Amino acid sequence: MSKTLHQATFQFEGQTSAYHGKVRDMYRVGGGNIVAVVSDRISAFDVVMPKGIPYKGQVLNGIASHFLDAVEDIVPTWKKATPHSQVTIGYACEPIRLEMVIRGYLTGHAWRTYKTGTRILCGESMPEGMNEHDAFDEPIITPATKADEGHDEDISKTAILDRKIVSPELYDELERITRALFKRGTEMAAKQGLILVDTKYEFGLLNGELMLIDEIHTPDSSRYFISEGYAERQKSGVAQQQLSKEFVREWLMEHNFMGLEGQSTPDMPDEFIREITNRYINLYERVTGQEFVRFPLENLEQDIQDTVNNWIQEH
């Protein structure tokens, strides 16, 4: 397989700290900047798979950059520059330990919860009589606590306020912006013949100002359906055509893995890894309406090191 950026530790000029997440590695450098290196790791059920996916980091970084630029009028974003196809540099914000998950359709985790007979998710009611992939009358917000390690956990607005994770005023603002971002993402997706099914947003504070941080509307954080034929497929009970990494989760479940204790990650064959790469690139082109340009994978780590250091020196 092609070279991937799976496990790499960089030391940039003026670096003061490093944090290695499931997919992104965050480096704090002088001047209040964060360097986000988007790896080719892929996670499912909050577990990082042993093999990387060629070009995945480039896809995620490109989509996130595209959408961060598109929502600057809604909320300030952390992004300053994307000097390399797998790097975004931005403001070092104080993260809010929540994921603001918003769902327009009964899909994925919401459907798996619904199938058990549960009709309340994170304090939000889900109507009786719904089928998988049906649209909610209004999108529901189902937050999750942001875990440094292990699984993020569903949490209700009431619990968020009881635990004083954020103030009532700040939470109301998080909800307002989440809905505005989802509306913008939905409109942009529709222009590309897609349905934005669900997604999540993360926020931070910079000198008391609310900022949108991390990725946005990527296949790792979002799910898309193909618009054409959605209603017909739903009416006939045929599976929806998805652009997301749900197919990876489904493959893992077929191979008896759901991230549960005692389960081992199955080995992904090269053919399946190539399929994942192709699906990610297809999603990039479908979502952004732009052709995906493959940045060479040779000397990838050195290219990132040199490019970031040059940016730091110039700024």
Query: What is the pTM assigned to this prediction?
Result: 0.88
Asked whether residue 125 is assigned to any structural domain, the reply reads yes
For residue 194, the domain's CATH number is 3.30.470.20
Domain containing 118 equals: 95-243
Q: How many domains, the chain?
A: 1
Beta bridge partners of 91: 33
Asked whether residue 208 is assigned to any structural domain, the reply reads yes
Single-letter amino acid code for the residue at 129: G
- How confident is the model over 222-254, as pLDDT tens digits? 999 999 999 999 999 999 998 878 889 999 999
Asked whether residue 232 is assigned to any structural domain, the reply reads yes
Q: What is the pLDDT of residue 247?
A: 87
Beta bridge partners of 206: 209
Asked whether residue 183 is assigned to any structural domain, the reply reads yes
DSSP assignment string, 101-145: EEEEES-THHHHHHHTT--EETTEE--TT--TTPEEEEEEE--EE
Q: What is the pLDDT of residue 152?
A: 77
Phi then psi dihedrals of residue 285, to 5 deg: -70, -35
Average pLDDT for runs of 10 along the chain of length 315: 82 95 92 94 91 95 97 98 97 96 97 97 98 98 79 91 97 98 97 96 97 91 94 95 85 94 93 94 93 92 96 94
Q: What is the pLDDT of residue 228?
A: 97
Question: Alpha carbon 76 to chain centroid distance?
Answer: 18
Asked whether residue 307 is assigned to any structural domain, the reply reads no
Asked whether residue 153 is assigned to any structural domain, the reply reads yes
Nearest to 301 by CA among 83, 4, 55: 4
Asked whether residue 4 is assigned to any structural domain, the reply reads no
Residue 10, SS3 per DSSP: coil
Asked whether residue 176 is assigned to any structural domain, the reply reads yes
